[in-house]
Structure 1
Amino acid sequence: MMRSEQVCSSLEAHGIDGLLITGEPNIRYLSGFTGSESFVFLSHTARAFITDSRFTEQAEEECKGFEVVRYRHPYPELEATLGTLASKYGVSRLGFEKDSVTFGFYDKLARSGPKAQLIPTAGIVEALRYVKDQREIQLIAKAARIADEAFNHIIEILKTGMEERDIEIELEYFMKKAGAQAAGFPTIIASGPRSSLPHAVPSRRKIEYGDLVTMDFGALYGGYRSDMTRTVVMGRINDTQREIYETVKNAQAAGCSAVRAGVKGTEPDRAARSVIEDAGFGEFFGHGVGHGVGLEIHEEPFMTPTCEKMLEAGNIVTIEPGIYLPRWGGVRIEDTVVVKDGGCEALTQSPKE
C-alpha cells in the first residue's frame, strides 16, 4: 500500500474526509518531492500535489502517482486552488497539520479558501514515519557511515591552534565530498570551558592543549540524517576528565543496552541517567538521553524521564548522555542506533577511546 493510501485509510478515524499536508518532512515522505513551497491534498479519491511554476517540472518528475496542480503567487490563488480541489473531490471536513500551519495561513484559508470545515490534526503522517522501512534504514546507515568517515578524517588532522570553526568547516566539507547532500543539522563544536554548552555554536576559539573537544555532527543523505557525538582530549587526559569521560561512556553503554522493542522511552533514559547519578553528577545531565532520527534530526520517539511511548523494531534513535560542568567543560557521547526485537544495532561506529 502506498504511503498516501495508508494516510487516506485513517481519515475517518480522525473525523475528516480530506487532509492538507504542509510540513515539508511529511510532504517528502508521502510524495518524494525534494523541493519546497508545496502542499499535498489527500482524500479518498484525490492525490494532489500543489506547487507553483518554479517546481512544476520537478514535481512531475518526482511525485509519481500524484496529480500535479499548479497555482500562481500570491497566496490568494493557492486558497482558491484548495477551494476548487475540496469542491471537486467532495471534501466537507478538511484536516490540516496544526503544527506546521501558521495562524495567518489558517485565517486566510478560513476566509478565502475551501468551504469545507477546517479541522486541526496532529501526528497522522508522523505515525507512519515512526517505524522506518528497510530503505529508510539503509539511507540512515549510509549517512552514519559518512559521518564515521568524517570523524576518522578529523582525528587525523585535529591539532592545537585550530579554531572550532575550522573543525566545523572541515567536517562538513569532507561529508559533502563523501557523498552527503549537506550536514544533517548545524554542526556543534565546543572546546575547553565551552564544552559545557550542549548546543554550542562553533566559535573562533582556538583549541588548546588539555582541552575537551566535543563534536556533534551528522550527514544528510537521500533526505535522511545521522547524528553522532564524540568528545576527545587534546593531549594528556587528567584525572577529572577521565572520571567524567568514563562515567559518560558507561552511561551511554547502559542506555544502549536498555534499547529494545517493547520498552518505554523512559527505560533507556533511566538506565543511562542512573549511572551518572550514582557517580554524583546527576544535576549536570539536564536533557533526555535520546530522540528519533529520520527525515528530521529530532523526531519521535523521544527518550526522557517522562516519555512513555513504546519503542518498536525499526525505530532509529540516538543515545547521547552527557555531563556539563558550567565554565569547566563537558563530555557527551552519542550514537545513532536501530531498535530491534532483542536490542539495538549501532549505525555509527566511530571509536570512543
Structure 2
Amino acid sequence: MIERLQKFRENLKNLNLDGVLISNSENSRYLSGFSGSSGVLLISADTAAIITDFRYWEQVSQEVKDFQLYKQGPNLWQSIVALVQKLHWTKIGFEAATLTYQDYQTFCNLVPKNVQLIPQNNLVEHQRWVKDTAEIALLSTAEQITDRAFAETLPIIKPGIKEREIALEFDHQLRLQGAEGNSFTTIVVSGARSALPHGEASDKKVAVGDLVTIDGGALFQGYHADMTRTVVVGKGSEEQKRLYQVVLQAQELALQSLKAGLIGFEVDKIARDFLSQHGYGGDKFGHGLGHSVGLNIHESPRLAVTEQNPIPAGAVITVEPGVYIPGWGGVRIEDLVVVKLDGIRNLTASPKKELIEL
C-alpha cells in the first residue's frame, strides 16, 4: 500500500493543492486498504489520514497501517473540517465524480471563507489503470474461481431448466469456490434471448437447440472477475457452429494483436473489421470489445471505437466480441487478460475452442 500512496503523492505535486479528499470507496481501498463503506481519506505531501465512524473503528485499525486514524464525531463533514483546519489547508481538491452536491454544499458552509474547494477528475483512477503484482494475483484468483464455477454449472444445463435456475447455480458455485460475492448480476440468456447482450436471467425454460450465454464473475477481496461463454443444448446447427467460430476467430485475432502501447480503438477495430468481413458488422456487434477490471467491474482504459488512450502494460482487460441477431440468438466469448509489453497473459481457462454441446 505504501508504494501506491507514494506514487499518488508524486502525482499530486503539479496540482497546486494543499491536500485532497478521497471519498470514493474503491479509491480509498486502493490507497489505504480500508474495505469499509464509510470513510474519507485526507492526503497531502506529509499527511495521510482516514476518518471513519464507530461501526468501522475496529476494522480500520486492523486493515490500515500507513494512515493516521481519526474517529468521526456526530457529523462526518464537521469532523473533516476540524481536521482540515488543524492541517491549515486552504486549497483542497475533491473528487468531483463522487462528492454529491448536497455534501459539497454542506462542506462549503462549514469551511472558513479563505478555503477553496477545487474539483478534480480521475485523481486516483488513472493510477489504477496499471495493476500491481498484488492486484493481478487477486484478479487471477477471482478468474480461477469463475472458471471453476462455470465448470460445475455446465452439468445442470438441460432441456426444461430455467435461466434463473442456471444463474442461481452459477452464483452458488461462485460462493462454494471461494468468492465473497458476484462481480455483477449473472447474465444467463438462451434461445432467441441470447441476442440480448445484457439480458437478465428469466423464467424461460431452456430447449433443445438453444444457445445459452453465461456471463458472470467472482468478487474476491474486492476485485472483479469477468468471463463469458456460449454453449448449445443438444447438437449445434451448422449455422450456430459457424457463428461461434467466427466470433472465436475475431477474439483470437484481437488477443494475438493486443500488447502495451496499442490504442484502445485499434484493438477494437481488429475484431470489428473481421466480424464485418464475415457479414456481422454494424448493429450485430454494437458494444465495445472490452473494458478494464479491478476494484470496479468496468474501468478504463477500454477497447472501444471511442478509446483514444494507449493500453498500458499491467492493464487487466476483457476481450469479448459478440454477435447478436434479433429473433435468432447470439454468441459472445469473453476472456480476461493481463496486458504485457510483448503481448498478453490470459487469466481465463474455461474451454472455448469449439461450441460446447450439452
- Bin of the TM-score, shorter chain as denominator length: over 0.9
> SS of the residue aligned with 2:55?
coil
**2:324 alignment partner AA:** Y
> Which residue in the other structure is 1:27 paired with?
28
1:6 positional shift: 2.2
Retained in 1: the 8 A contact 2:313–2:341?
yes
Aligned-pair CA distance for 1:263: 0.8
The residue number in structure 2 matching 1:290 is 290
1:28-84 deviation per Cα after TM superposition (whole angstroms, max 9, x unaligned): 1011111111111112222111111111111111111212212244xxx22211111
1:36 corresponds to which letter in structure 2?
S
- The match for 1:317 is 317
Tell me which amino acid in the other structure corresponds to 1:62: E
- Once residues 211 and 55 of structure 1 are traced to their aligned partners in structure 2, the CA distance between those partners, rounded to angstroms, is 48
- Distance in 2, Cα, partners of 1:185 & 1:149: 17
- Residue 4 of structure 2 aligns with which residue? 3
- Sort the Cα spacing of 1:50 and 1:247 in 2 relative to 1 into closer, same or farther, 3 A: same
- Maintained 8 Å contact 2:188/2:215: yes
Letter in 1 for 2:335: D
- Residues of 2 paired with 1:151 and 1:114: CA distance? 56
Q: Equivalent residue of 1:317, what SS?
A: strand
Verify the 8 A CA contact 2:156 2:166 in the aligned structure 1.
no
Could you say which residue in structure 2 is the equivalent of 1:306? 306
**1:132-152 CA distances to partner (integer Å, 9 max, x unpaired)?**
111111111111111111111
Quote the residue 2:136 is aligned against.
137
Write out per-residue CA displacement over residues 86-143 of structure 1, whole angstroms, 9 at most, x where no aligned residue. 1111211111111111111111111124652111111121122111111111111111
Matches of 1:62 and 1:217, distance apart in 2: 29
How big is the shift at 1:177? 1.1
Cα distance in 1, alignment partners of residues 137 and 271 from structure 2: 27
Task: Give the distance between the partners of 2:222 and 2:199, measured in 1 at CA.
Answer: 25
1:207 counterpart = 2:206: yes
TM-score by length of 2: 0.95
How is 1:168-317 mapped onto 2 (pairs within 5 angstroms)? 168-283=167-282, 284-317=284-317
Partner of 1:111: 109
Q: How much does 1:239 deviate?
A: 2.5
- Note closer, same or farther for the CA distance 1:321–1:114 as it changes in structure 2 (3 Å cut): farther
CA separation in 1, counterparts of 2:253 and 2:313? 19
Partner Cα separation in structure 2 for residue 293 and residue 114 of structure 1: 40
Residue 153 of structure 2 corresponds to which residue in structure 1? Answer: 154
SS at match of 1:198: coil
Residue 97 of structure 2 is aligned to residue 96 of structure 1: no
The one-letter amino acid paired with 2:191 is: G
State the one-letter code of the partner of 1:336: L
2:80 is matched with 82
Deviations 1:262-285 (A, max 9, x none): 111112101110111001111210
Moved more, 40-49 or 341-350: 40-49
- Which residue matches 1:124? 123
What secondary structure, in the 3-state scheme, does the structure 2 residue paired with 1:344 have? strand
Tell me the equivalent position of 1:340: 340
Percent identical: 43
Letter in 1 for 2:299: E
In structure 2, the CA distance between the partners of 1:329 and 1:70, relative to structure 1 (3 Å rule), is same
**Tell me, what secondary structure is at the counterpart of 2:54?**
coil
Quote how far apart the aligned CAs of 1:314 are. 0.9
Alpha-carbon spacing, 1:251–1:126, altered in 2? closer, same or farther (3 Å): same
Relative to structure 2, which stretch is displaced further, 220-229 or 12-21?
12-21
Instruction: Assess if the C-alpha contact under 8 Å between 2:19 and 2:42 holds in 1.
Output: yes
Name the CA shift for 1:114/1:265 in 2 (closer, same or farther; >3 Å): farther
In 1: Cα distance, 2:13 partner to 2:261 partner: 28
Would you say the 8 A contact 1:322–1:331 is kept in 2? yes
One-letter code of the match for 2:219?
L
One-letter amino acid of the counterpart of residue 9, structure 1: E
Distance in 2 of aligned mates of 1:123 and 1:281: 36
Aligned-residue offset at 1:160: 1.3
Aligned residues: 350
How has the CA–CA distance of structure 1 residues 260 and 114 changed in structure 2, closer, same or farther, with 3 Å as cutoff?
farther
Cα deviation, residue 237, structure 1: 1.1
Q: What is the aligned partner in structure 1 of residue 55 from structure 2?
A: 54
Say if 1:338 and 1:345, in contact at 8 Å, map to a contact too. yes
- Separation in structure 2 between the aligned mates of residue 326 and residue 102 of structure 1, nearest angstrom: 40
- Give me the whole-angstrom Cα distance separating, in 2, the residues matched to 1:234 and 1:72: 58
Q: TM-score w.r.t. structure 1 length?
A: 0.96
Cα distance in 1 for residues equivalent to 2:309 and 2:16: 24
Counterpart CA distance in 2 for 1:159 and 1:36 is 40
> CA separation in 2, counterparts of 1:228 and 1:167?
15
Q: Which string of whole-angstrom CA distances, capped at 9 and with x for unpartnered residues, describes residues 166-207 of structure 1? A: 111111111111111111111111111111111111111111
After superposition, the Cα gap between the structure-2 partners of 1:203 and 1:46, relative to the gap in structure 1 and judged at 3 Å, is same
In 2, Cα distance between equivalents of 1:132 and 1:97: 21
